[in-house]
Chains A and B, each alone.
Chain A
Amino acid sequence: MADESRKHPPEPPAHGGWSELLHTEDYWSIWLGLALIVAALVVYLPRPPTDLQAKIDTANTGLAEAEASAPIKTIAWYDALDAKSKLKCTSESCGKSLTRFFAKPHGWDTNPLHAVVSGEERAEALKAAAEPGHAIKREAAATAYSVAMAAETAARAAGFADETLNAAAEDEIDAWRAANAAESRAKKKTRVAAYNQLLNLAGVCMVLALVFGVGVRAMGGSFRRFCLGFVFVFAVAVLSYMAAQQSLMKEYGIGYAAWAILFGMIISNTVGTPRWVEPAVRTEYFIKTGLVLLGAEILFGKIITIGIPGIFVAWLVTPTVLIVGFWLGNRYLKMPSKTLNVTICAAASVCGVSAAIATAAACRAKKEELTLAVGLSLIFTALMMIGMPAFIKAVGMGEILGGAWMGGTIDATGAVAAAGAFLGDKALYTSATIKMIQNVMIGVVAFCVALYWTMRVERQAGAKVGASEIWIRFPKFVLGFIGVSVIFSIIYQAMGADVGYALIDHGVIRGGTKLLRGWMFCLAFVSIGLATNFRELAHHFKGGKPLLLYAFTQGFNLLLTLFIAWLSFFVVFPHITEKI
């Protein structure tokens, strides 16, 4: 990453002059990110779901009435919750169109063409195949509803004073929820439609080429040469998404990041990266812009509303593990590179690939170092996603403790969802909460790492670093990343959690910035692969120190998270745990 910038038009010296604002990659990543965010705000904010506030009020009244009438979560409580969860901008026509346009390729089993093209005949065949399954699930959901209603009625008749009846009602309501969710998924399969995504993909390629090309031109590069090379990089990104969408790869959690690096490396280490592609191999440019967009997804207010015990676990354990891991890597493992050290520790302690990207960019790690951290994270994630739920079940650990443990330790966010769901709903809720809080930490970690690198690691021995020196050296895109996060957190708070959920979370973010950010990270990983040599990568892995560091950091994380999760959920906040 750091050495790659030398291959592109030299940036003017960073003396803080005004010209820097229009001629450096860091600032252009901020301008482009902000422009795209403003565009998403303009699209979504004036188009809220119809009668949004009235529907929120109705749902909240329903929730309040259900809470007042029973000490357990009743069917009416869940109905009101479901009504609220459906209020999304992404469910409106505009949101659907944008989401469809920027969507990644579809899932497929054996024919990769189905990732981008599927005819009417196949759609009809898939629908016909899904109908019988849907009928069975619909019947099961109806039966589960009747049973749950009967159990709730019995508990209500006893004035909710009989603990046995209450517990039975809760169990039956949980079973109805599961059957209901299964019916929804089966129903979705009966609504398959034909698609041809090739035109959309060409459109996405043109939009992104234009967006990034403008910046390249302003920084002194050739717009035409960039666009030409970009088509190739984008094509490899599409291939990576296609590989990640293969049904079995999706189950294993082998996502676009791994495929993009692999495909890029295969090309660069076999036939070689074509010279005409090189102007578009802009790892840092893509990553930094993607990170500015990611800032919109980091909403600080959310973590307050979704769980104090989770904050306790995530914000106490995560920095501790990061700092201890980094210290051990320097002191005892004698890691040859501090940037590799901190990138690996961030991946292991925060949340895998996304944390590695942010940290590597903040400390200007080399592209091979990021590749190594991502690779290690993917391997450990795959092992832990399967091993941890199996272990938790085998030892009979409770769902909440197990969920908290997995949420705090399994790196990849998707793998946490998979492992949590394997244990049950409560485990999923707990693990999801903790992982979301960890996700939110990325911004703080990136900022602290950037500051630490500027003030301590990169300074001359014995020299004092003044404020202006810090400003000159500080990676400016981090300010864009944090700034966007703070602005979105304020907007989200000002709107309130319910309106924010519909307009920001399920509008501007999920229907806009998230889709573009995914493409940008994928382009960045393709660029990393296209610029990486197997020999250089092997050099960084010399002596197996990165593996040892990852294993230690993750081992320490496992022990500390388990202890703090138990302390938090069962000693300090047991009254909150009871309500989950």
Chain B
Amino acid sequence: MARQGERPAWARWGLLLASAVGVWLFMFVVAPGVRRVPVVGEALDVVRELEIDASALFYTEIESFSRAELMIRESMSTQRNVLTDDS
């Protein structure tokens, strides 16, 4: 396991605090700042509006994939019907 035993306690806890501040700065200063860039803001507006989980790891975590799957499946089924009729 990673251990920082060589540093004094105050330095270790200070580093932890500094890291927490860094996370806070990223979340509430840097990220909102970047969002103000037009091309970024435009894309993220869509994500917010459609309530998409942009961090999903797998298709089962996204509701819109489920709708897309059903839509494509039924569309293909229509296609199969058309092909069968043609033949």
Chain A interface (Cβ < 8 Å from any Cβ of B): 7, 63-64, 67, 73, 81, 84-85, 110, 181-182, 185, 243-244, 246-257, 262, 265-273, 275, 278, 281, 294, 297, 302, 305-308, 351-354, 385-386, 389-390, 412-415, 417-419, 421-422, 428-429, 432-433, 435-436, 439, 497, 501, 505-506, 509-510, 514, 518, 521, 530-533, 575-576, 579-580
Residue on A nearest B22 in the bound complex, by CB = A266
Question: Which of A85, A417, A579: most chain B Cβ within 10 A?
Answer: A417
- With contact pairs A248-B32, A268-B1, A306-B69 given, residues A414 and B19 touching in the complex (Cβ less than 8 Å): no
| In contact, A281 and B78 (Cβ under 8 angstroms) | no
State the Cβ distance, B81 to closest chain A Cβ, in Å. 6
Once the chains bind, are B76 and A576 in contact (CB under 8 Å)? yes
What are 17 pairs between A and B in contact, CB < 8 Å? A63-B77, A247-B48, A252-B54, A265-B2, A268-B1, A268-B4, A270-B13, A297-B60, A305-B76, A386-B39, A415-B54, A417-B62, A421-B52, A422-B46, A514-B61, A518-B61, A521-B57
Q: Which of A63, A294, A386, A435 lies in contact with B40, CB distance below 8 A?
A: A386
Min CB distance, A423 to chain B, in Å?
9
A-chain residues with CB within 8 Å of residue B25 when the two chains form the complex:
none
* 0/1 interface trace, chain B 24-42, chain A, CB 8 Å (1 if under): 0001100110010001101
B51 touches A531 (CB 8 A): no
Max chain A Cβ within 10 angstroms of own Cβ: one of B5, B32, B43? B43
**Max chain B CB contacts within 10 Å: which of A67, A246, A385, A418?**
A418
Q: A266-B16, A429-B71 are in contact. Are A417 and B52 (CB under 8 A)?
A: yes
Residue of B nearest to A85 (CB): B70
A231 to B31, CA, bound (A): 31
Q: Which residues of A contact B61 (CB under 8 A)?
A: 413-414, 514, 518
Q: Is the CB of B54 within 8 A of A385?
A: yes
B50:A421 contact, CB within 8 angstroms: yes
Are A270 and B54 interface neighbours, CB within 8 A?
A: no
A515 to B74, CA, bound (A): 28
Pick from B48, B59, B79: contact of A579, CB under 8 Å: B79
B-side binding surface: helix, strand, loop or mixed?
A: helix
| Contact across chains for B68 and A429 when beta carbons are under 8 A apart | yes
Q: Which residue of chain A is the closest to B51 with respect to CB atoms?
A: A185
Known: A272-B3, A413-B59, A580-B72. 18 other contacts (CB 8 A): A63-B77, A81-B70, A185-B51, A248-B27, A266-B19, A271-B4, A272-B4, A302-B69, A305-B73, A354-B57, A414-B56, A421-B50, A421-B52, A428-B68, A435-B59, A435-B65, A436-B69, A576-B76
**One of A302, A307, A418, A501 near B52 (C-beta < 8 A):** A418
Docked Cα-Cα span, A7 to B57, in Å, equals 29
Bound: A267/B74 CA distance, A? 50
A352 & B57 in contact (Cβ 8 Å cutoff): yes
Compute how far the CA of A496 lies from the CA of B47 in the bound complex, rounded to whole angstroms. Answer: 33
Please, which residues of chain A bring their CB within 8 A of the CB of B27?
243, 246, 248-249
* Selected contact of B47 from candidates A281, A418, A576, CB within 8 Å: A418
CA distance A275 to B46 in the complex (A): 45
Chain A residues near B75: list those with CB within 8 A. 73, 579-580
Which residues of B are found within 8 Å of A422, using beta-carbon distances? Answer: 42-43, 46-47
Lowest 9 CB-CB distances: which A-B pairs, in order? A255-B55, A414-B56, A253-B54, A268-B2, A432-B68, A270-B15, A270-B16, A533-B2, A418-B54
Q: Contacts A248-B27, A271-B13, A579-B75 given; indicate if A294 touches B59 (C-beta within 8 A).
A: no
A531: chain B residues at CB < 8 Å are 1-2
Q: Is A433 in contact with B57, judged by CB distance below 8 angstroms?
A: no
Q: Which of A185, A271, A281 contacts B50 (CB 8 A)?
A: A185
B65 to nearest A CB, angstroms? 5
B54 partner, pick from A250, A297, A389, A436, beta carbons under 8 A: A250
* B3-A436 in contact (CB<8A): no
Q: Are B73 and A306 in contact, with the CB atoms below 8 A?
A: yes
Q: B4 — nearest CB in chain A belongs to which residue?
A: A272
Docked-complex contact B2 and A273, CB < 8 angstroms: yes
Residue contact A433 to B44, C-beta cutoff 8 Å? no
Q: Does A251 lie within 8 Å of B69, measured CB to CB?
A: no
**Inter-chain contacts of B19 with A (CB < 8 A):** 266, 270
Residue of B nearest to A67 (CB): B78
Question: Closest CB of chain A to B10's CB: distance in Å?
Answer: 11
Whether A269 lies near B65 (C-beta < 8 A) is no
- A238 to chain B: closest CB distance in Å? 15
**Closest chain A CB from B73 CB (angstroms):** 5
- Which chain A residues border B1 with CB–CB below 8 Å? 7, 268, 272-273, 275, 278, 281, 530-531
Q: Which residues of B contact A433 (CB under 8 A)?
A: 68-69, 72
Asked if residues B66 and A85 are in contact (CB atoms below 8 Å), the reply is yes
The answer to whether B62 and A84 touch across the interface, beta carbons within 8 angstroms, is no
The smallest beta-carbon distance between A547 and chain B, in angstroms, is 21
Which residue from chain A places its CB closest to the CB of B1 in the assembled complex? A273
With most chain B CB atoms within 10 A of its CB, the pick from A73, A84, A185, A428 is A428
Identity of the chain A residue whose Cβ is nearest the Cβ of B78 in the assembled complex: A67
**Cα A244 to Cα B53 with chains together (Å):** 10
A249 to B32: give the CA distance in the assembly, Å.
Answer: 10
Chain B nearest CB, measured from A67 CB (Å):
5
Q: Which residue of B lies closest to A269 (CB)?
A: B2
CB distance from B54 to the nearest CB of A (A): 3
Query: Which of B20, B31, B57, B76 interacts with A412 by CB under 8 Å?
Result: B57
